[in-house]
Every structure is written in C-alpha cells, then in structure tokens.
C-alpha cells in the first residue's frame, strides 16, 4: 500500500544538507575506460578468505566490542611500517587513522577546514570527487596550471600571493603528486620542494593524496612530500583500493594530532568506526601476500597501459596527444580545441565504450572539453584494443577526424 506523504523532507533540511542525488549510477560500457577499476580476475579472493579466517579465529570475539575510533591497531602498525619502508615517512601508528577508503578522509578534512567562501588550491584538473566535495562545502577553488612535472611553481606562488593580498589566504592545497588523476604526471622532487617552501612561507596546509603510488611500472620513486616536511604541515592519504580492491573500502590518513583528535570526535559522535571485519582480513593479507600481489598486478597493468598507448597511437595518430604515465591507471588524452568530448559520452556508451570527459576534472568547472580520461585497469588487453578502435569509430563518425 502506498503511504500518504506527511512530511516534505526537502523543506526541513539543514543548511549543511548536500544536494539530492538519485540512484542512477553511470551506466557502464563493455569497454569500461571510465572508472579506475582493477582487473577483476586478479583479485586475491582465496588469500583474502584465508586471511579473514585466520583473523576471525584469532581475534573474532573482539568484534563484540566497538572498534578503536582510529581503526584496527595492527593494521595501523602495518601502514606505519609500509610508509616508512616505501615513502620514508616517520609516522607512529597513533598518528594514523584508517577510514572507509581514502575519500572518507578527504571528505572529513574538507568538513574540518572549509567554510563557504574559503579558498582552496588544487591542480587545474584533479580527482572529481574531491572537487565535488569542495564545491558542496562552498569552497572557492583555484586550479593551478600543470606541466609534466606537476603544478608550475611560479604560477602557484603568484596565485597564492594574489589571494593573500586580497585577504583570501588559501585554507588548503590539495595535490595528487604521484601518477596524478587524471593527468598522469608525477611531480618532480624539485617541484615538491618548491611546493613545500611556498606552502610554508604562506602557512598553508597541504593534503597529499598518494593513492596510486604503489602502481609504478617504471622510473624512479619520488619521495613523499610528507617525508620532506619538517613542520608537520603536510597531511597524507593512501588507500588499499588501488592495490587490493576498492570494494574493501579501506584507506589511511597520517596527520597532526589536532586533526586526528577531531576525527576521533566525528567518529565518536556519529557512532561510526572502521569496519574491523575487513581490517582483520586486510591486515593478515597485507603482512603475508600484498607485496607479491602488487608485483603481479604491476605486470598486468603495465601490459594494459602499453596496449592502450599503442592502440591509441595506431587509431588516433596525429589527431590526438596523450600521456604515457609511469604508473597509475589513466591516460589523459587531448584532441584539438574544436572537439567537444563531453558532448558524445552517451553516444560512445551506446557503442560500448565508457570514458570520462575532461570537464569532470576541471577545477574551474567547465574547461577540458577536448580532453578525455581513459582508464586501462579493468579490461583485458584484447578488449582495450577493441574498445579504442570502437571509440575511434565513434569519433570518426562525429567528424572529429
């Protein structure tokens, strides 16, 4: 029986309520280059089952308790060791907070720091969910132009100096310095140091989003900005989404006690914590099998990247430019300025190909029409080739070349 509606909830929402979103998700193409999914066939399901079984038999009865508000201690210890070993970061387990993916931490940081009208610095094209959250929070976003080495330092300094002169000192600099989403570059060491210097001079905290760092196919590791920072002004997020699976929803944050204390309060007052069931499995799995698994998936993803790069070369030739990232999961493709790739996503999907247009990642909310982000993580090399051929067919039909 249909209930008679008594209350118009839309009319009684608080000022902080976010905009409405319906259930419709982005439809997926057979050739799914839209989202950075990993290869479903190489997920370590059996090992995760074993790890969960072990975790539950050893500590399962602790699930009777509410978990630590910062997340399962042994997994935080693992993350602390990993950050030391891989990123030369010195972070105690007490300075680490686990979360429902790294996006939960990004969202909590924005909630803690940003009031409507506050200014925030990002890269000119960056992770769309961070941009959406910033917009909902009423932030004024300033995207900094980037080249192959990351944010251009002179531009960064000029924009910040100008904002400070107008009493709009940025509250935060958000950066994805390694295998940037969507542009694919890795910020050079020199630029990392320059970014730190500028941020220290103007006393602006940095949020370093390093969620792709483990997916390096070639080239030299570049130190984490956090590891270069003697002042504690850099906050850091990482994730198990890109190395194990996004469905696990497990990410980590390292940052100052003033922020972590607020995270604890958010968790305490909302009754939320970090899923200890998943954490038990991830911890047992991480200490025994994660390094080998990463080695295995690096080979798979590198092949997929190479296949996408070579097929794009064959099909698009001089009609497009594209990045060849040393790691991560995306190619960033640019067509001539006259081409609007945001106008034909539906057509491409009907032909079976999903991709995201550059406009989704634009800090200014509207540029990037001639760009597309293409993820190579999910489909097999054969399907990547086929999908790029189909996409080239759609573009040709549309008269793009």
Contact 342, 369 (CB under 8 A): yes
Least distance from ligand PLP to the Cβ atom of residue 102, Å: 4
Least Å distance, CB 370 to ligand PLP, is 22
Q: Kindly write down the DSSP assignment for every residue of 277-333, as one continuous string.
A: HHHHHHHHHHHHHHHHHHHHHHHHHHHHHHHHHHHHHHHHGGG-EE---SBSSEEEE
Closest distance to ligand PLP from the beta carbon of 237 (Å): 7
Chain center to CA of 373: 14
> In this complex, which beta carbon is closest to ligand PLP, that of residue 211 or of residue 259?
211
Cα(226)–Cα(103) distance, rounded to whole angstroms?
18
Q: 72 vs 400, which CB is nearer to ligand PLP?
A: 72
Smallest gap, in angstroms, from Cβ of residue 128 to ligand PLP?
8
Q: Tell me the β-bridge partners of 238.
A: 252
Smallest separation (angstroms) from ligand PLP to the CB of 4: 40
φ/ψ of 352, rounded to 5, equals: 105, 5
Strands (E), 9-157: 31-32, 96-99, 119-123, 140-144, 146-147, 150-151
Q: Which is nearer to ligand PLP, 181 or 359 (CB)?
A: 181
Structure tokens at 67: 């978990």
Is residue 184 within 8 A of residue 330, CB to CB? The reply is yes
Rounded Cα distance, 339 and 343, in Å: 9
Q: How far is the CB of 327 from ligand PLP (least distance, A)?
A: 13
Q: Whose Cβ is closer to ligand PLP: residue 37's or residue 401's?
A: 37
d(CA 335, CA 126): 19
Q: Which residues are CB-contacts of 14 (< 8 A; sequence separation ≥ 6)?
A: none
Q: Given the complex with ligand PLP, which of 153 and 181 has the nearer CB atom?
A: 181
Our CB check for ligand PLP shows the closer of 34 and 113 to be 34
Residues in contact with ligand PLP by the rule CB under 6 A:
36, 101-103, 127, 176, 181, 209, 211, 239, 241, 246, 251
**Residues near 385 by Cβ (< 8 Å), separated by ≥ 6?**
307, 311
The least CB distance from residue 12 to ligand PLP, in Å, is: 31
Which lies closer to ligand PLP via its Cβ, residue 86 or residue 340? 86
Would you say 176 or 390 has its CB closer to ligand PLP? 176
Q: Which residue is nearest to ligand PLP (CB)?
A: 101
Q: How far is the CB of 274 from ligand PLP (least distance, A)?
A: 13
Helix and strand element counts for the chain (H, E): 11, 15
């Amino acid at each position: 029986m249909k209930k008679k509606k008594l209350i118009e909830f839309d009319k009684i929402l608080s000022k902080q309520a976010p905009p409405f979103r319906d259930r419709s998700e982005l439809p997926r193409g057979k050739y799914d280059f839209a989202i950075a999914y990993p290869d479903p066939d190489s997920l370590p399901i059996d090992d995760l089952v074993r790890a969960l079984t072990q975790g539950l038999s050893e500590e399962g009865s602790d699930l009777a308790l509410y978990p630590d508000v910062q997340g399962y201690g042994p997994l935080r210890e693992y993350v602390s060791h990993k950050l030391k070993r891989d990123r030369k970061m010195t972070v105690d387990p007490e300075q680490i907070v686990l979360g429902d993916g790294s996006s939960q931490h990004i969202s909590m940081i924005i909630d803690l720091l940003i009031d409507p009208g506050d200014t925030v610095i990002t890269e000119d094209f960056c992770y769309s969910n961070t941009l959406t959250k910033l917009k909902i929070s009423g932030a004024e976003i300033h995207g900094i132009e980037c080249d192959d080495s990351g944010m251009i330092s002179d531009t960064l300094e000029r924009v910040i100096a100008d904002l400070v002169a107008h009493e709009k000192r940025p509250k935060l600099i958000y950066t994805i310095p390694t295998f940037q989403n969507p542009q694919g570059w890795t910020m050079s060491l020199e630029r990392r140091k320059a970014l730190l210097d500028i941020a220290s001079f103007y006393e602006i905290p940095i949020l370093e989003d390093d969620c792709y760092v483990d997916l390096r196919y070639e080239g030299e590791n570049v130190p984490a900005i956090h590891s270069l920072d003697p002042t504690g002004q850099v906050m850091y997020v990482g994730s198990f989404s890109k190395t194990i699976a996004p469905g696990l929803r497990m990410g980590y944050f390292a940052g100052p006690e003033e922020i972590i204390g607020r995270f604890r309060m958010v968790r305490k007052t909302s009754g939320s914590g970090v899923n200890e069931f998943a954490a038990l499995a991830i911890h047992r799995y991480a200490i025994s099998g994660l390094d080998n698994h990463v080695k295995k998936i690096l080979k798979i993803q590198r092949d997929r990247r190479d296949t996408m790069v070579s097929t794009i070369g064959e099909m698009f030739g001089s009609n497009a430019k594209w990045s060849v990232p040393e790691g991560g999961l995306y190619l960033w493709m640019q067509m001539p300025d006259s081409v609007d790739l945001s106008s034909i996503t539906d057509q491409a999907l009907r032909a079976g190909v999903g991709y995201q247009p550059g406009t989704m990642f634009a800090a200014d909310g509207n540029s990037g029409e001639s760009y597309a982000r293409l993820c190579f993580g999910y489909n097999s090399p054969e399907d990547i080739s086929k999908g790029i051929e189909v996409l080239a067919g759609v573009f040709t039909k549309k008269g793009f070349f």
